[in-house]
Amino acid sequence: MVQAGKLGDARAANRVLVLSTVGFTLFFAVWVMFAVVGVALRKDLGLSDGAFAFLVAIPILTGSVLRVPVGILTDKLGGRIVFTALLLLTAIPTYMISRADSYTQLVVLAFFMGLAGVSFAVGIAWVSAWYPRERQGFALGTFGAGNVGASVTKLLAPTLVTLLAAGGVAGGAIPGGWRFVPFLYAIALVVMAVCVWFLAPAPDHRPGVGRGTRELLTPLKVVRVWRFGLYYIVVFGAYVALSLWLPKYYVDVYGYELRTAGFLTALFIFPASLLRPFGGWLSDRLGARLVTYASLGVMIFALAGLTFSLGVVPFTVLIVLVGVTMGLGKASVYKYIPEYFPRDVGAVGGLVGAVGGLGGFFLPLLFAWAQDLSGRPQSTFVVLLIVSVLSLLWLHAVVIQLRRGERGGADARPAGEVTR
C-alpha cells in the first residue's frame, strides 16, 4: 500500500509538471507576443524606439509586480485553482487586443495581458509542492523550460500574420494579419484552462494552508532573497529583454526581414529555455552556487565580445552562448529557493521572479536610452555586461565570506530558519 501510494503521488506530480509546463509555454508565448506583432505595429503607427520599447515592456511589468501575491495565493489555494483562473483571465485581454485600433488601447490591454507572466510564480509554487527536495532542481528546471514559448511566438507569429489577409474571414469574426495572433492565443488559453481543471490531480497540495500572510511574507526581509533576485535579473530579466529586443536588433542592424530575425532570435531562445532542465539536474548534483558561478562567468565573457561591432555569424554565436548560460543559470538560481525556504517557495519564488521580471521591463527601456545616448546599437550589451559583473562580484563576495567562515549574508547552509 505504501508503494502504491508513492507511485500514485509520483504520477500525480508528473501530471502537475506536464500541465504546468505546457501551460507556462503558452503563457510565455502570449507574454512576449508584442515582440513580434509589435514590429508591425511600430511601422503602422510610426512609433519611436522608446514608444515601441514601452509597449513591449508593459506586459513584463504587470507579470512581475503581481508574482509575490499570486505566489502566496497559490500556496494557500493550490496551483490547480489559481493556474486555471489565470488562464481564463488572461484570455480576455488577449482576445481584445485582436480588436484594438489605437496605441492607447493596446497599452491598456498590454497591461492586463501581462497576467500571463504571473504564471511563473504559480507554476514554481505548484510544482515544488508536489516534488521532494532531491528532485526539485530538475522538476523546476523542466517547468521553467516553458520559456521556450518565446520561440513559439518568434517562429509561429510571422507565419500567422501572413496566413490570413488583414481583413480576416467570416465577416471579420476571425481577424487577419497581426490580429490573428492574439485571437488564436486567446482560444488556446481557454482550451488549456479546461485541460488543467479536468486533468490536474485533486485534492491539491497547499503548503500555505493554516499560515497567516505575515508569516508567509517574513522571508522577504532576508537579504539573501534579494540577492537571488539580482542573479535572476541577469539570467531571466535579461533573457526576456533580449527576447523582446533581438528581432528589432536583427532588423535594424543587419537588415533582415522579420521572419529571418525571428528565426535567429529563436536560436538564442531555445538553449536559454531547453537547457533549463539540464541546469536543474546539474544543480541537484553540483550545487546551485557552482552552476550559478560558472554561468555568470561565461556570460560576462560572451557579453564583453558583443559590445564590439561584429558580423552576423560571430554575433549569433555569442548570443547563443549567452542563451546557454542563461538556461543553466535560471535553473540554478531557483534551485536555491526550496533549499533555503522550503515552506515559502510561493512568496520567495514570487519575489525572485518579480525582481527578475522587472529587469525584463526596465532593461529594454535602458537599451533604448543607451542607444539614443551613444548612437551605437551595441550599447545594449554594455548595459547587460555591467549588471552581470555586479552580480558576479556579489556572488564572489559571498564565496569569500564562506571561506572565512563568516555567516552574515552568506549561503552557509540550506535552512528553514529564514533569519540566518
Handedness of CA 316, 322, 324, 330 (dihedral sign): negative
* Helix-helix angle 149-163:258-274, to 10 degrees: 160
* Section 250-274 average pLDDT: 85
Summary mean pLDDT of the chain: 82
pLDDT band at 120 (very low <50, low <70, confident <90, very high): confident
Residue 419 lies in a domain: no
Q: For the purposes of burial, counting CB atoms within 10 Å of the CB of 283, is it exposed (0-12), middle (13-18) or buried (19 or more)?
A: buried
Residue 195 lies in a domain: yes
Residue 414 lies in a domain: no
Quote the pLDDT of residue 166.
64
* pTM, to two decimals: 0.73
Tell me the CATH number at 358.
1.20.1250.20
164-173 confidence digits (pLDDT tens): 666 666 555 6
Residues 183, 30 contacting (CB under 8 angstroms): no
pLDDT band at 411 (very low <50, low <70, confident <90, very high): very low
pLDDT at 91 over 90: yes
Phi, psi of 130 (to 5 degrees): -100, -10
Residue 420 lies in a domain: no
- Three-class DSSP category at 169: strand
Give the lowest-confidence range in 41-45, 109-113, 174-178, 391-395. 41-45
Residue 333 lies in a domain: yes
What is the residue range of 351's domain? 2-403
377-408 confidence digits (pLDDT tens): 889 899 999 999 999 998 888 878 777 765 54
Helical segments of 255-344, H only: 258-274, 276-286, 288-306, 312-340
pLDDT band at 416 (very low <50, low <70, confident <90, very high): very low
Q: What are the DSSP calls for 45-60, one per residue? A: HT--HHHHHHHHHHHH
Number of domains in the chain: 1
Distances (CA, A) of 293 to 34, 133, 194, 365, 374: 33, 22, 41, 27, 31
Best CA proximity match to 28, nearest among 105, 109, 96, 122: 122
Q: Which of 27-36, 191-200, 231-240, 261-270 has the highest mean predicted lDDT (pLDDT)?
A: 191-200
